[in-house]
Amino acid sequence: MNQTRRFAVDAADGGRLDSLVARRLDLSRTQAATLIATGQVLVDGKAERASFLPLPGSEITVEVPPTKDRPVLAEDIAINVVFEDDEVLVVDKAAGMVVHPAPGHWSGTLVNALKGRFSANQSLDEVGGEDRAGLVHRLDKDTSGLLVVAKTERAHRLLSKAMAERRVSRRYAAMTWGHIDGDKITVDKAIARDPNDRKKMAISASGRAARTDFVRIARFQSCDFFRAHLHSGRTHQIRVHLMSIGHPVVGDDTYGGGGARRLVGLPPQRHFLHAAWLVFKHPGTGDLMDFRSPLPEDLRVSLGAIAEDPDLIAHPDPLEYFGFYRVDG
């Protein structure tokens, strides 16, 4: 059964009908053009061409056909589990692993791995919704580090509520190009899908509120090393916020930080962003859970190159060395 979607054209909207529909419904432009060509898009009740330019105030009606179901399979994939009990599981995700299946990544994801891990004696399929496998939050493919998975519906509900109320502390280690003025900065800018590239996010007044606190823990010749504290969980939030102030994440090809990769010892398709510190109250016991993930080997090598101190590679936890875990508020 088709799903009917309606929206009014805002004054800030502009451009062709296919681009507008793609942006508002989070579709590719080709998908939007197909809907238009098959008569499933109406402008004020009338079919128009893909190149039509809608006026502000016009109502767009879109009949979206159901997507074809594609089962998410359980797979035997090794993951680094740092904690587990009957209600929660904490994973230290490796860079390069996609968290949730999507077009182009239907296998090899963390969800596939979680379903494989529990398929023999416990199903996570319905925890948090179909095929979420208990996920409470996500990490970008090329971001490494800690995330929590709920093993029961009750744990998922309580952890999701705590996340929404900012009672789950998530702090990331981020290396950026250039230097900010001072040692602290807060970026409070709304984020939405980039109207020109649906695979990217962008700062937008009409987007969802997003705030990140940054504290510089080290300054090197060409880079700043930050502790980033998320107060919201928008897609690509830290990366977009840093790009917006002119200091993109080192190695971030998507948001302008991918240059000089070899000079800082980063492998291809890797950016210097690591979910290093996760703190939350256990949904069952109420105990405070504190998890810390040292920098993985590839980021240790890069840190040594940037700091021009190869001894950092051998340090038990370079984040501890730089005072990452000393929080003053």
Residue 295 DSSP SS3: coil
Q: One fold for both 3-64 and 169-285+299-321?
A: no
Task: Tell me the domain boundaries of the chain.
Answer: 3-64, 80-164, 169-285+299-321
Share the mean pLDDT of the chain.
88
pLDDT at position 1, please?
Answer: 57
Tell me which architecture the domain covering 3-64 has in CATH. Answer: Roll (3.10)
pLDDT at position 12, please?
Answer: 66
User: How many other CB atoms sit within 10 Å of the CB of residue 81?
Assistant: 13
pLDDT at position 119, please?
Answer: 62
Tell me which architecture the domain covering 169-285+299-321 has in CATH. Answer: 2-Layer Sandwich (3.30)
Mean pLDDT of 139-164: 93
pLDDT at position 38, please?
Answer: 86
Q: How confident is the model at residue 117 (pLDDT cuts 50, 70, 90)?
A: confident
Measured N-to-C along each axis, helices 29-37 and 17-25 cross at an angle, to the nearest 10 degrees, of 120
Per-range mean pLDDT, top range of 102-106, 114-118, 219-223: 219-223
Pick the residue with more confidence: 69 or 297?
Answer: 297
Q: Where are the beta strands (DSSP E) in the chain?
A: 3-8, 41-43, 46-47, 59-64, 80-84, 88-93, 144-150, 169-177, 184-188, 191-193, 201-203, 211-219, 223-230, 273-281, 288-292
pLDDT at position 7, please?
Answer: 83
Q: How confident is the model at residue 128 (pLDDT cuts 50, 70, 90)?
A: low
Q: Which residues pair with 90 in a beta bridge?
A: 83, 148
Q: List pLDDT tens digits, range 286-297.
A: 999 999 999 999
Q: Which fold has domain 80-164?
A: Pseudouridine synthase (3.30.2350)
Q: Which residues carry out catalysis? A: 140
Name the least confident of 24-33, 149-158, 210-219: 24-33
pLDDT at position 248, please?
Answer: 97
- The encoded tokens of residue 184 equal 């602290």
pLDDT at position 259, please?
Answer: 84
Q: List pLDDT tens digits, range 168-185.
A: 999 999 999 999 999 999
pLDDT at position 123, please?
Answer: 58
Q: List pLDDT tens digits, range 309-327.
A: 888 888 889 999 999 999 7
User: At 111, phi and psi to the nearest 5?
Assistant: -60, -45
Mean pLDDT of 247-251: 97
pLDDT at position 329, please?
Answer: 45
Q: List pLDDT tens digits, range 23-59.
A: 777 777 777 888 998 888 999 888 899 999 999 888 8
pLDDT at position 304, please?
Answer: 94
DSSP state at residue 94: P
Mean pLDDT of 151-168: 91
Residue 121 has pLDDT above 50, yes or no: no
Residue 255 has pLDDT above 70, yes or no: yes
